[in-house]
């Protein structure tokens, strides 16, 4: 497909210079997408973009910065004129040690993993919704890279696990209402994968637990080709598994938590809609 084809869909992929983000970018290009490769390492992204051709563009972006992401999305619109798919994929591991520091004085935890892996996804999702809503009824897709560590505990990465589980529950909390606008939001939850984050340690793990990249691409393909929403799809060496949210203790409880009326109730009588929220909870 010609990169000048204004009918070709446009995807934004964060963390696109390597790993899962690069694999997804290549897959999207093969399907005729024009792809914005957003990455902090723009030099590596440019090298990969050159190999992929003029269906890609590179924008340097720090996903932990709202301003950086806002500029990146606005630039993407200037380049391609539309955004149909956003893959909020960029992530980093914990900065160890966290809770096992033997320093004499207490040390402030290093929370960059939360800033990148959770706040960054929140920023990407907010901006994705803003721009996809401008698609005049076409809707779109938002895919969040969570992790197996968002489903299960991760002893070596508690903040990484906290961020990824936060991504999953944020996705579940907005997916139903977004689907009413034909915006379908899902999470891919990869298992251990040979990427830039893990490559140097891969020899330490049994090969039969390493998730093949093909399974991750199958998950992305499922999200693109169907109207599924609210899925937390674990993509692992054993296959794909849609991990369900926990059971509610009663149907009434489920109806209350998942109803749009809950927001109205909080707005009228609860602290969440109150202007005092900031001062009352400092």
Active site annotation includes 160: yes
Catalytic one of 33, 123, 131, 160? 160
How far, rounded to the nearest angstrom, does the alpha carbon of residue 271 sit from its chain's CA centroid? 29
Q: Which backbone phi and psi does 95 adopt, to 5 degrees? A: -95, 100
Q: Which backbone phi and psi does 198 adopt, to 5 degrees? A: -120, -10
Residue with token string 């996809």: 132
Looking only at the bridges linking them, the beta strands covering 140-145 and 85-88 are parallel
Structure tokens at 13: 């992929």
Rounded CA separation 163/146 (Å): 8
- CB crowding 109-147: b at 16 or more within 10 Å, else e: bebebbbbbbbbbbbbbebbbebbeebeeebbbbbbbbb
Structure tokens at 177: 């209402």
Query: Would you please indicate which residues are annotated as catalytic (active-site) residues?
Result: 160
């Amino acid at each position: 497909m010609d990169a000048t084809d204004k009918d070709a869909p446009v995807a934004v992929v964060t963390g696109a210079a390597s790993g899962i983000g690069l694999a997804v970018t290549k897959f999207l290009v093969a399907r005729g997408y024009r792809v914005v490769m957003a990455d902090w390492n723009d030099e590596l992204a440019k090298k990969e973009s050159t190999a992929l051709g003029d269906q890609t563009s590179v924008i340097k972006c720090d996903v932990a910065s709202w301003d950086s992401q806002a500029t990146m999305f606005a630039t993407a619109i200037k380049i391609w004129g539309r955004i149909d798919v956003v893959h909020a994929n960029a992530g980093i591991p914990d900065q160890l040690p966290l809770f096992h520091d033997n320093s004499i004085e207490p040390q402030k935890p290093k929370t960059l993993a939360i800033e990148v892996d959770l706040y960054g996804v929140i920023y990407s999702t907010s901006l994705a919704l803003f721009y996809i809503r401008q698609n005049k009824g076409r809707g779109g897709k938002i895919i969040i890279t969570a992790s197996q560590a968002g489903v299960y505990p991760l002893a070596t990465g508690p903040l990484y696990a906290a961020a990824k589980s936060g991504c999953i529950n944020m996705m579940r909390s907005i997916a139903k209402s977004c689907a009413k606008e034909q915006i379908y939001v899902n999470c891919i939850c990869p298992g251990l994968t040979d990427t830039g984050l893990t490559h140097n340690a891969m020899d330490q793990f049994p090969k039969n637990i390493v998730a093949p990249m093909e399974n991750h691409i199958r998950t992305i393909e499922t999200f693109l080709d169907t109207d599924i929403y609210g899925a937390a799809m674990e993509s692992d060496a054993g296959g794909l598994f849609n991990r369900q949210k926990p059971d509610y203790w009663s149907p009434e409880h489920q109806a209350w938590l998942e109803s749009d009326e809950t927001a109205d109730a909080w707005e009228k009588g609860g602290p969440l809609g109150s202007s005092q929220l900031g001062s009352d909870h400092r």
